[in-house]
Chains A and B, each alone.
Chain A
Amino acid sequence: MLKIENLKARIEDKEILNGINLEIKPGEVHAIMGPNGSGKSTLSAVIAGKEEYEVTDGTIFLNDENIEDLSPEERAHKGVFLSFQYPVEIPGVTVTNFIKTAINEGRKARGEADLPAKDMLKLIREKADLLEMDRKFLSRSLNQGFSGGEKKRNEIFQMAMLEPKLAILDETDSGLDIDALKIVANGVNKLRSKDNAVIVITHYQRLLEYIVPDFVHVLYKGKIVKSGGKELAMELEAKGYDWLK
């Protein structure tokens, strides 16, 4: 599904990723952990195609296609989804209208007709229920005045609507209380299948108790310094990151 070879990237003159190698197969969940400033968010932004980062070396393949020259929207149309650590507020555009636009732009790009309004509404309701979202929430301006937990729940709602092949959850657990965390994790677990893959980026092992990874990677100074199974997360929780440096 995703294959990253020797990926190096920088922003302005600062090298952030220093040769990442990572392979993710359909059905797998990978956790990427690491201290602040290790390059976790950069890696997710580079996979999603953020233009401020300059890829200086290496390749990203999505289903054997080199996606280097694709814009963020083209990557989204091919099934990449990034859940933001800090979702953006857009006053005047409701949650419903935003997701409708996103869905139909994706369909347009794939040469499909717009989803009929009735089907769209049904889908929105179904996915909102999955995330235990209040219906009133759907007619509010996107992320405007949302609490941290509401913003994250809204991110996973959008993920549920867009049904990505590769979902990257960037610090989705930050700002969530334990109840919200369970709902969000439960939502992600229901969306897992043998055909899609998930990358969970997190500081803490806490989220991984609910979204259980197949692999855990530790990122430090822009490199993966250790990989292992889910037990590695427990070890990191107990020992911290210092022993890996």
Chain B
Amino acid sequence: MELKDKLISSFIAFENKGTVDLDSAVHAIRTKSIQNFETEGFPSKKDEEWKYTNLKSLLRQDYSLFNKSDINVDYNTIKPYLISDIDSYNLIFIDGVFSSFLSETTHDESDICVLSAALSKPKYNILIDNYFNTVARDKNSLSALNTAFTKEGAYINIPKNTIVSKPIQILNFSTGNEKDVLLQPRNLIMVGENSHVQIIERHQNLSKNHTFTNAVTEIFVNNRAIVDYYKIQNDTDNSSLIDSTFVQQKQHSVATVNTFSFGGKLTRNNLEFQHEGEHITSNLNGVSILNKNQHVDNHTLVEHKFPNCESHELYKGIYADASTGVFNGKVIVRQAAQKTNAFQQNNNILIDDGATINAKPQLEIFADDVKCSHGCTIGQLDESALFYMQSRGIPKKEAKALLLYAFGNDVIEKIKIPQLKTMLTSLIANKLGVNLGFDL
């Protein structure tokens, strides 16, 4: 049976198994979403937005949909994937099931807990009705699929005037030791007026079988709130991720999403920013470092609908071996959005002849009093810079790594959590196969 048919036919069973009251609004949303998914199906290469990312091989696998969770995973197994030396809230999911044993949550002031609880408890009904799936809204068939099977994920509700004192780490592990696994985590994040939160999200496959993760995150950023969101994508070669993240911002808010893609077989990041007010700042940053047959596709959309807002987008890509990158950055400035500042920059380095980058910057500007710019470059390593370093006694391999690190540095230096910066620089050094002997 094809994956699509298998998913549709298992929907009723999933609903009955779940904790959701069939009379609740969520039930209606899920039913609508499975219908949307049934109509649309998985995207194919004929779809313009999926021209360079082919899901065919991914959909051919026989996935376990209702995973048996191996919740006996111990702390030492997950520790390498957590940022250590830092006090943080941790939301740990094993095969899509929340592990209270490994996590550290809170209900003091902020709610930093799990979506399943919010979906099933009446006191959360009003929030679910007002927020859940209101910005994702089945905009693509994969997020519709995620909505239909929504069961678990992070639920973060920060009340107004709250500076969350420590970062929140959301980690999704898969242990599918018997079979390939499909996971569909769903995160709902609401940040109140004047509040500030830092969130780190990571997906990690612990098994030899294939894991296909179809994740959806909705982030609501209220007036003057600040959200810093970090996505660490350094999964194994038998893992694929389709991530759809939707950010809705209100006036004077600042939202930043940083995406670091170093691993995984196929990664697709759909990232959308919606503005609901003036004086909003949206920052989108990314570094991809790929080798072997890895594929990363960054699809971003910033829609300016209100005046006096700004967006800053900076994506860097380094592609070795037969890896493939896609950058599709769309910025729309509607007629009402006068005095918009929108900047987009995408720089790529191709290290080997077999590597590919498909870059497509798209700016659609309907307002006349705006400042917008975009730039896209594709180049190779600067030979004279390599010679400079070699002439000081630094071997070619290390010199290359230093240059590549320097290339990605303007994104890395935007990281506001020092321990995260340290972790990422060591992931980069690892990826580039060098030990540089000092903390970059």
A residues at B contact (CB < 8 Å)? 45, 48-52, 71-73, 75-77, 80-82, 84, 87-88, 90-93, 97-98, 100-106, 109, 114, 158, 162
Contact = CB atoms under 8 A, between A and B. Distances in A.
B402 A93 contact: yes
Interface of B: 382-385, 387-396, 398-399, 402-403, 405-406, 409-410, 412-413, 436-438, 440
A10 to B, nearest CB: 17
A106 B391 CA distance: 11
Given A73-B395, A106-B393, 14 more contacts: A52-B383, A72-B390, A73-B390, A73-B396, A73-B399, A77-B393, A87-B388, A88-B389, A90-B389, A91-B410, A97-B440, A98-B392, A101-B402, A158-B392
Given A91-B409, A100-B437, A104-B437, A76 B398 contact: no
A73 B393 contact: yes
Contacts, number: 86
A101 B391 contact: no
Contacts of A90: 385, 389, 402-403, 406
B438 A102 contact: no
A98 B391 CA distance: 13
Contacts of B437: 100-101, 104, 114
B contact face: mostly helix, strand, loop, or mixed: helix
**Most chain A CB inside 10 Å of its own CB: which residue of B382, B383, B389, B440:** B389
A81 B391 CA distance: 7
Contacts of A51: 387
A109 B402 CA distance: 19
Contacts of A49: 390-391
11 contacts: A48-B391, A73-B391, A73-B393, A88-B384, A90-B406, A93-B406, A97-B440, A101-B398, A101-B438, A102-B392, A106-B393
Contacts of B385: 88, 90
A87 B382 CA distance: 13
B393 A162 contact: yes
A73 B394 CA distance: 6
Given A84-B388, A97-B440, A91 B393 contact: no
B393 A102 contact: yes
Closest 4 CB pairs of A and B: A92-B409, A76-B393, A72-B390, A102-B392
Nearest to A99: B392
B390 A76 contact: yes
Contacts of B396: 71, 73
Nearest to B439: A97
Nearest to A75: B391
A184 B87 CA distance: 49
Contacts of B412: 92
Given A101-B437, A102-B392, A158-B392, A72 B398 contact: no
Contact of B395 (A91, A103, A105, A114): A105
Contacts of B387: 45, 48, 50-51, 72
B368 to A, nearest CB: 35
Most B Cβ at <10 Å: residue of A73, A102, A109: A73
Contact of A97 (B393, B399, B403, B438): B438
A89 to B, nearest CB: 8
Contacts of B394: 73, 101-102, 105
